[in-house]
Amino acid sequence: MTAEVRLPAGFKVGHWTDPEARTGCTVVIPPSGTRGGVDVRGGGTGTREIETLSPLANAEGPTAVLLTGGSAFGLAAAEGVARWLEERGLGHPTPAAVVPLVPAAVIFDLTEGDAGRRPGPAEGYAACETATAEVPERGPVGAGAGAAVGKALGRERSTRAGVGYAAVALADGTVLAALAVANAYGDVIAPDGTLLGSPHDDSGRTIRTADALDKIPGPPAFPSTNTTLACVFTDAALDKRGCAIVARMASAGIARAVDPVFTPLDGDVVFCLASGSDTPRPSSLAATWAITVLGTAAATATARAIRDAVTETRRGGRAARP
């Protein structure tokens, strides 16, 4: 698996970025007829329309998925995404009009730049305008423009992060990709446990959050300002139930790359989108096997995308604090 594997066929990704205010938004636009699922693990989420992805919901899947900065204010960017989709006749058919369904999730980045400048409808629309089928830009762009990880000692001693991407082509030609926004309270760690992003002490040395928590005097002043977001998308054939299971399995990738993880201080959300046709019967052995293979790949891709979010931010010349 490498970050150079193409997007699954028919999918597009676009960013809008405000580098001065350190905020932005990122949109994933799937092919028509795509199914979707979601897994919510964090204790401080900010979301919109994720109920449409429940296996019990009427709609089969989303028209687009939005990942955005700006905290709860940034959810307004979904209105611009919906307008862009409506203009192109994309959405859930109703007797009156086509209604785009745009599930969204946010990170908190208001303290990074200008808290009064955050993504809105115009910015969501602009992200759609940039969407392409190319391997997406990574680092401090889009929803990751104001992201940071390792915030146990405050954002001023954290490590800058951003958007990461990873993908895999399976043996049967199926492509599965993961897009992640790393803004976790905890550290981002390599497979061998090496710190990729973490707090820094007064001397600029890295600190492992799990080792320092019991030495920190009292809780943080603004605790619920952390989130890891991921969107896994594939050209495999999955129904909504399968998408929900793959999203849940993909959350294991967050646990591999972030420590501590799924805390009450984080708003972690994972989406899964599948565009393939001819889905097998849900109760069949073929469906169970396909979900197992895809979920395993999704967890690996998600972990690598989170790590990529930190390493690509560093590679882009935006060094870690301090």
pTM higher than the cut 0.85: yes
Q: In angstroms, rounded to a whole number, what is the distance separating the alpha carbons of residues 123 and 142? A: 10
CA dist 147 → 52, 56, 89, 151, 158 (Å): 27, 33, 33, 11, 10
Reduce the secondary structure of the chain to three states and give it as a string.
CECCCCCCCCCEEEEEEECCCCEEEEEEECCCCCEEEEEECCCCCCEECHHHHCCCCCCCCCCCEEEECCHHHHHHHHHHHHHHHHHCCCCEECCCCEECCCCEEECCCCCCCCCCCCCCHHHHHHHHHCCECCCCCCECCHHHCCCEECCCCCHHHCEECCEEEEEEECCCCCEEEEEEEEECCCEEECCCCCEEECCECCCCCECCHHHHHHHCCCCCCCCCCEEEEEEEEECCCCCHHHHHHHHHHHHHHHHHHEECCCCCCECCEEEEEECCCCCCCCCCHHHHHHHHHHHHHHHHHHHHHHHHHHHHHHHCCCCCCC
Classify the C-alpha dihedral 314-319-321-322 as positive or negative.
positive
Which pLDDT score is estimated for 3?
43
Which pLDDT score is estimated for 322?
32
In CATH terms, the superfamily for domain 12-315 is L-amino peptidase D-ALA esterase/amidase (3.60.70.12)
CA dist 270 → 9, 38, 56 (Å): 21, 6, 18
Tens digits of pLDDT across the chain (322 residues) = 344 688 999 999 999 999 999 999 999 999 999 999 999 987 888 999 999 999 888 888 899 999 999 999 999 999 999 999 999 999 998 999 999 999 999 999 998 888 899 999 999 999 999 999 999 999 999 999 999 999 988 888 899 999 999 999 999 999 999 999 999 999 999 999 999 999 998 888 999 999 888 887 766 655 558 999 999 999 999 999 999 999 999 999 999 999 999 988 899 999 999 999 876 566 677 788 889 999 999 999 999 999 999 999 998 733 333 3
Which pLDDT score is estimated for 220?
62
168's CB contacts (< 8 A; 6+ apart) are 1, 5, 175, 176, 177, 297, 300, 301
Domain boundaries defined on the chain: 12-315
| Residue 152 identity | A
Q: In angstroms, rounded to a whole number, what is the distance separating the alpha carbons of residues 132 and 165? A: 14
